[in-house]
Amino acid sequence: MAAQERERRIQGIHRLALRVPDLPAAQRFYRDVWLLSDQGRDGAFEAFRSSAEDHDDVLLVEGPSQIAHLAFAVASPDDLDAITSRLEAAGFSFKRIADEAMFRADAAAAVALDPDGREVWLVVPRPGTVTAVDALPLAPHRIGHIVLWTPAQEAAERFYTLLGFAITDRTNAGMSFLRCNADHHSLALMKSTKGKTGLQHIAFDVGSLDNVMRNFARLRGLEVECAWGVGRHGPGNNVFSYYTDPAGNYIEYYGEMELFDADAPVETRIWGPEHKGDVWGLAGVPPLGFRE
């Protein structure tokens, strides 16, 4: 994509909406264990907020475990028009969300289906829509990245590139890391040979190595087992620790991700077979469900 087209791009993750089979268990987990702020209902969904966000960024609704939608923030209505025009020109249809169907954190929104059939919302945010509460010191700041399984990686990369993502890194293991702002990645695509299109994991930024470790100890005290970690990734350089939510989703607390000049040209790097998931060599192999 030409540099001037990348000027009209999404700014980052706006929220993730999940269907979960046991809604009360998921609510308790995200509020009491994961330390998101409970913001009550928004339409059919239960809404939660990370501490540095000024809007709900996690929505939960009861149903078979899967992504309900993922939403990305767009700076202005003009940018929304530019991105949806680009999608349309590439053969993707989209629809505008009517005012009465909008979530309270949205001033304008359009929704498209990505090549794997996921609902992708593009949202001009309406800020300041949450109840002010004092953040707990170890609460996650924001959703930092979302990783998706895809059996159609090339088509998925093409779709997300149309939103303005660029590919920072690829790994020998079939993962591509996509960025749209200063973060090394806000989205990653994990190749599936078994037709998986679901969530591979969601990651919440807790800022620092210390906060990853403090949360590790806090969760151990709550008898929540760490599924993988603590370690430090090669691509992204972030310190990681993975857990599972009651719906079986892998969720990550991370800190210290590699940052770039958001507007610099992107040259994709390749991580070869010598690369292991944890550069410290401490975390061991990831759990089976994390791979495939």
CB of 118 to Fe ion, least distance (A): 18
The answer to whether residue 169 forms part of the interface with Fe ion (CB under 5 A) is no
Binding mask 244-283 for Fe ion (x = CB under 5 A): --------x-------------------------------
CB of 242: closest distance to Fe ion in angstroms?
8
116 versus 252: smaller Cβ distance to Fe ion: 252
Of 124, 187, 203, 257, the one binding Fe ion (CB under 5 A) is 203
Kindly tell me which of 252 and 278 has the beta carbon lying closer to Fe ion.
252
Number of Cβ atoms within 10 Å of the Cβ of 97 = 17
Q: Are 271 and 234 in contact (CB under 8 A)?
A: yes
Residue (56 or 252) nearer to Fe ion, CB: 252
CB 197 within 8 A of CB 155: no
Interatomic CA distance for residues 284 and 282, integer angstroms: 6
- Can you state the percent helix, strand and coil of the chain, rounding each to 5? 20, 35, 45
121 — phi, psi (to 5°)? Answer: -95, 140
Q: Which is nearer to Fe ion, 25 or 285 (CB)?
A: 285
Q: Which residue is nearest to Fe ion (CB)?
A: 203
Q: Give the largest Cα separation in the chain, rounded.
A: 53
d(CA 65, CA 79): 32
> Is residue 114 near Fe ion by the rule CB under 5 A?
no
Tokens representing 16 are 């993730």
Which amino acid, 6? R
Residue 254 CB, shortest distance to Fe ion, in Å, is 6
| Nearest distance in Å: CB 292, Fe ion | 16
Residues that bind Fe ion (CB under 5 A): 203, 252
